[in-house]
Amino acid sequence: MNATPSDEPTPDRFGPLAGIKVLELGQLIAGPFAARTLADFGADVIKIEPPGAGDPLRKWRLLKDGTSVWWQVQSRNKRSVALDLRESAAQETVRRLADECDVLIENFRPGAMEGFGLDPLQLMQRNPRLVVLRISGYGQTGPYRDKPGFGVVAEAMGGLRHLTAEPGRVPVRVGVSIGDTLAALHGVIGVLMALQERQRSGLGQVVDVALYEAVFNCMESLLPEYSAFGAVREAAGSALPGIAPSNAYRCNDGYALVAGNGDSIFRRLMGVIGRDDLARDPGLADNTGRVPRVQEIDAAIGTWTATRSVAEVLAALDAAAVPAGRIYTVADIAADPHYRERGMLQEQTLADGSRLQVPGIVPKLSRTPGQIRRAAPLAVGQDNEEVLSELRATRAPNAPRAPR
């Protein structure tokens, strides 16, 4: 599926968040990712950038014609307004914009907004319906609130980094800014819940998201196992401790990921690899019995995969309805028909007429799906006149306020 952004989206393409106006004051990853998610589903996102260089993400990683291709994903469906938040006139413009918005998103260090004269509580006094999403490393309260916090630090503090390694080896990062992304998605959830509650109370509220807490919230049984048993979960490489079998198994041309941890799935898997003795073993009938013998099970599976190609392994396991897969590179993703059929490989036309492939929109809504309505703003502040004209119009004598 291809999608060419339109500068003038028609009403039926606005999506489920049509009519919601968002003011984005963040930069780089977490705040802008949250705003982009809302924008993909129809919210009108006004992105405030510092004049000149703009959001630093414009220059992160690989550049095309001087601009990061990541920028084309992170800032699609947004309008750019250039304002220097250190200047009083710009601060007043932000206040007036916040008066007209439903949501304000910021991911500065706690206290920065107040330092700009933009205390969210004061903005909410002016506009009681305003929902404010504040994303920071450690949250707006607590002894660490004033420390600088990036995703890599949050991933470590949240418990994730300790587990991402082979046993006895140095922990490694996931490879993407997963802490920022998890915080952004938690922020989106918080904003949507606050907007839902606003329908009853008529009032906005502050959504406080800490990067480390977003990571920690995804750590499954880590804490209760420590609380109940004093168990400190350690790195286990590609295995999933306490759940068997689930691992990466070497083939003669790569690795296959096999998840045979369901009871009936395990029996089918053992049948495929010619180990009916293990399939019939009453001691392996459920996960409780399989975990203590996981090395025996992994060895049996590994012996079978080692003499076969990844394709042969996956074909045999697919035929037996055993969950399995291979490790994708981005080249595999770009060539995969399932990605394409699901609309996850979208194309945008850049200013120079070239085409750029970008990720599609998640989640899929059946009646009001998200859309890529406009490309990321090429120039810093390119929408100043449009946005500020709209603001002047809303403040003209007898002009009605935008629907809320």
| Residue listed under structure tokens 């060419």 | 4
pLDDT at 4: 44
Higher-confidence residue of 98 and 402: namely 98
183 pLDDT band, cuts 50/70/90, is: very high
13 pLDDT band, cuts 50/70/90, is: low
pLDDT at 392: 86
DSSP assignment of 249-300: EEETTEEEEEE--SHHHHHHHHHHTT-HHHHH-GGGSSHHHHGGGHHHHHHH
pLDDT at 395: 67
Q: Tell how strand 67-68 and strand 63-64 pair up.
A: antiparallel
Query: Under a CB-based contact definition with an 8 Å cutoff, are residues 300 and 278 in contact?
Result: yes
**Overall pTM > 0.85:** yes
Cα 369 to Cα 14, 26, 313, 365, distances in angstroms: 9, 26, 37, 5
pLDDT at 287: 97
Condensed to tens digits (0 to 9), the pLDDT of residues 350-373 reads 878 889 999 999 999 999 999 999
Condensed to tens digits (0 to 9), the pLDDT of residues 312-344 reads 999 999 999 999 999 999 999 999 999 999 999
Would you call 18 exposed, middle or buried from its count of C-beta atoms within 10 A (0-12, 13-18, 19+)? middle
Examine the residue annotation and report whether 332 is marked as an active-site residue of this protein: no
* Active-site residue, from 44, 55, 102, 180: 180
Nearest to 15 by CA among 372, 396, 370: 370
Cα 186 to Cα 22, 28, 47, 180, 202, distances in angstroms: 17, 17, 20, 10, 23
Domains and CATH numbers, the chain: 11-218+338-394 (3.40.50.10540), 246-332 (3.30.1540.10)
403 pLDDT band, cuts 50/70/90, is: very low
pLDDT at 67: 93
- The predicted model gives 11-37 an average pLDDT of 90
